[in-house]
Structure formats: C-alpha cells, structure tokens
A = this chain, B = another copy of it.
C-alpha cells in the first residue's frame, strides 16, 4: 500500500505559498465549527519510519490551527508507573478527546506492538492478535462517532538516509537522531515489510490508513492539512455518518496536491529495438523455463494477474510468458461474465476454482479486480459490494500467498492516444476486427473514471505479499520484457 507514496511527489515553494493561506483559514474555521457543534471528537494518529517528519507535521498543524484546543501527545514508547499498574488500554482511554476537540498522537496504540515486532520480541502470530484487538478498538471508537485519521508517512530508503544525515550534521537537530533510528535504517526492508502487513491488517473501511509520501516537506504537510480539513468538513456537513459497511477507506482521499499519480508518473518513452527485443525475450523465456522446472518450484505455485485497459496488450503478453513455460504446467483463465453457477456463489468462488496446485502456473486474463474496475465504474454491482471488495481481495491474496503461491499482478498501461491508434489499427485489419467492439469505444469514453478506479485499486491492494507492477506498455516490446523480467526476478528471489 506504499506504492503510491514512492513516485516522487513534491510541491514547489511558490505553489505551497499560494495554497497555505486559504487552507489555514479553512482549517481554523472548521476547527471552530467543530468546537461549536460538539458533534464528534477527532483523533489524528501520525506514523512513519524514522525521519519521516512527524514532529514537523505536528508543529505545522499547530501553527495552522488554534493550538489551545488541540492536545498533542505521545503514548507508546515509555510507560509511567501509573500506566504499568493498570490494563494496557487504560492509558489511551485517559486521553480520548471529548466531542468538539482534536487530539494528535505521534505515539499511539500501534507504537508498542510495532516496536516489539520490529525488535523481534513478538512474532507474527502475536502481532496479528494485537492488531485484531486494535481493529476492534478502532471500530468501537468510530461507531461511537470519533473521526479517526491515521496517517502513515512513507519515505524511501534513500530518502531516509539522506534526511538522517542532514539532521545529524546540524548541531540544532542532531539530538533527534537516536539509536532506534540506526536500527530502522539498517533494517529498512524487513521493517517496511512488517509495515505493509500492519497496514493491510488494520486498514479498515471505517478507519483507513492514509499513506503520504513524506520525502518532500511541503508536499506531506499539504496532504495532512488538506485531508484533515476535508475529513472534518465532510463530517460536519453530513447529516449522518455513512454506515461502516459502506466505507472503503477512500472517504478521506484528496487529489494529490502536485497532481501526480501512479499512472501519470509512468514514463512512456522507452523503446526497445526489434533485434534487441528478440534476443532478450528468448533469454528471459529460457530463464523462466528453468525456474518453473526447478525442484524448489514444486513446493510453490505461481499466479499471474493481467489487467489493463482495452488494447493494452494483455493477450500478447500472456502468450510471450506462456512460451517460457512447459505447456503441461500452466493454465490460462480468461475472465468474462460469470456463469449462472458462478453467480450463485460468493464472488471470489469462481477464482478459487482455478487456484493452481504446487508446481503449477495460472495466468488470469482479467481477474477478481473486475469488481473494483469495470463493475465499479459501470455500476454493475451495488456500491456496498465493491466498497468491501478491497479488503476481501487483500484477505484472499493473503490466503493464497500463505499457501505457497507466488502472486504477481500486472497493470499494463498505455496512453489514451496510443489506445486510439490501436483501436483504429484493429478496425483496419480484418483479422483483428473481432477484437474491437462498440463496448470498447464506450469504455474509452469513461477513461477518466477508469483511471481513478485504477489509482484507488493500486493504493488499496498493492501489498508487500502481492504487489502491483505497473508496466509501461506503450511500446509492446519493452512492456513484455518488463513483465518477463519481473517474473524471473521475483521467482529467483523467492525460490
């Protein structure tokens, strides 16, 4: 779920200076209205790896709003004697804000389990158990009307190192670099893996994590400020809060202040010459063949998901991958409308039917993501159904990977212009004509809606165990090579 926070968001000085006065006024007003109405309390949790800028964000919020009515606390790292002799949750109940007030916590109920897990004091199972308790606690809070905002401020490994160096070199800030920080830098990968797991298990529709790219100070502060504003105003304006089942975790999403997204950040310029392509393709297919015949693979399975807009080249890509695998051990599953039998079962049933046994490969040409793409955009299922699908899909994929499956999901991306070129091409070529229908043109009209749905999908379902791989398929050759390379590298890493 950190994917959308690694695309180099940044806000220029001037744009920031332009945005702040309005935001500030709106925030103060929202805070005042909240205090007057006393309709609900607001709790803001700030999380993030070391050096993600949590305390700076708090300071900024305090200058933007009226600090007399905001409590800022850190409860998690150290225990008072008072706290030690009472049940663990007691400390948090003591500091819950009353209706009309805001509390910002930069250490909170995630801090202790997170630390203990990172340090190896508790294992997967105990972490899972504690997160389940946290879920029930947050469910209770939001059922009681609390507006709960959980920010996760993400920073890449390089970004983290750079920032810590900066802090350490300045005598005014060097005290802020602690021994814990060194631990996190050294263990960046495993820490991030457990963060992904934590985000997946605790990002419920009623209390979603809001992941923010934190490398650029101006960007992260605008995101936090604007999100807070939108959330408070939205709740004040609403006559009733939406029922828990109708919340999918996108309630608080604001458009990125710099306008960039996982899709617009793609670079469509790379090209591969036909000659190079043929050579590399053959080499990669050979590598894949060896990997899927290896002894280690006989205790795993491989599940590949191919999604992309019409004419993005899914079919051609799947064929190139298939050429690298023994035909007896792969299976291609094209997903279209459900059969009667499939429609009579829970949604995911028709995909479970095709889950491969160990030693085998299944490629899905479109997949369970139809629910949050076409079914969402075309209103083919009730809103409550696709809203709960994100969490269900994450659970489903966790089941798959826990059972030994290696799961890779590809989104083949092309530009709108390229799609038009391919459509026209298809219409001209007799043997490709069956591939283009009225429906394709209709879908094209909803390009923007699909783009938004894809962004939310990647944000909510790209997990460490089942990441989305966004493939620039503008140039078919380079797209296919990237897919094959990704598969080979992933298999090599795992086997």
Contact = CB atoms under 8 A, between A and B. Distances in A.
Contacts of A347: 144
A90 B128 contact: no
A357 B391 CA distance: 39
Interface stretch (A134-142, A173-181, A182-190, A286-294): A134-142
* Chain A interface size, under 10 / 10 to 19 / 20 to 34 / 35 or more: 35 or more
Contacts of A88: 399, 402-403
Contacts of A388: 140, 143
A361 to B, nearest CB: 14
B140 A392 contact: yes
A381 to B, nearest CB: 11
A159 interface: no
Interface string A65-105: 00000000000000000100111111001101011100000
A388 B355 CA distance: 37
Nearest to A83: B357
Given A89-B399, A133-B395, A243-B245, 10 more contacts: A85-B358, A86-B356, A88-B399, A88-B403, A125-B129, A136-B392, A140-B388, A140-B392, A143-B245, A143-B392
A455 interface: no
Interface stretch (A51-59, A338-346, A433-441, A467-475): A338-346
List the 3 shortest-distance A-B pairs measured between CB atoms, nearest first: A87-B403, A128-B129, A98-B344
A98 B339 CA distance: 12
How many copies of this protein are present in the complex?
A: 2
Interface of A: 38, 41, 82, 85-90, 93-94, 96, 98-100, 122-126, 128-129, 131-133, 135-137, 140-141, 143-146, 243-245, 341, 344-349, 352-353, 355-359, 384-385, 388, 391-392, 395, 399-400, 402-405
A344 B132 contact: no
B344 A93 contact: no
Nearest to A384: B143
Nearest to A133: B395
Contact of A352 (B94, B98, B100, B144): B94
A206 to B, nearest CB: 10
Contact of A129 (B90, B93, B129, B357): B129
A403 to B, nearest CB: 3
Contacts of A143: 245, 384-385, 388, 392
Contacts of A89: 352, 399, 403
A355 B399 contact: no
Contact of A403 (B90, B126, B245): B90
B87 A140 contact: no
A400 B129 CA distance: 16
Contacts of A124: 129
B96 A400 contact: no
A79 B403 CA distance: 14
A280 B492 CA distance: 75
Contacts of A100: 344
